[in-house]
Amino acid sequence: MPIYEYYCPYCKNEFELMRSMSEIDKPVLCPKCGTKCQKLVSASASKTGSYVRPPERSAFRQKP
């Protein structure tokens, strides 16, 4: 299951959540305040051989 990053515009909380692909479009509530959150855009890492290689440049994140 993929890990998604979310941002709460109300309390400014940023958190990760592991969700199945079938739950992508379902709303996510902030674990701190219960407000509906927005999904962040982020870079992914890839596994090469026996280690995880981070992205070549810094991760692109877009906060609303």
Domain ranges of the chain: 3-53
Query: Residue 21 has what pLDDT?
Result: 85
User: Cβ(6)–Cβ(14) under 8 Å?
Assistant: yes
Query: Residue 2 has what pLDDT?
Result: 83
This model's pTM is above 0.75: no
Residue 7 has pLDDT above 70, yes or no: yes
Compute the average pLDDT of residues 27-53: 79
DSSP string, the chain: --EEEEE-TTT--EEEEE--GGGTTS--B-TTT-PBPEEPB----EEETTEEEPPSSPPP-B--
Query: Residue 47 has what pLDDT?
Result: 58
Compute the average pLDDT of residues 4-26: 90
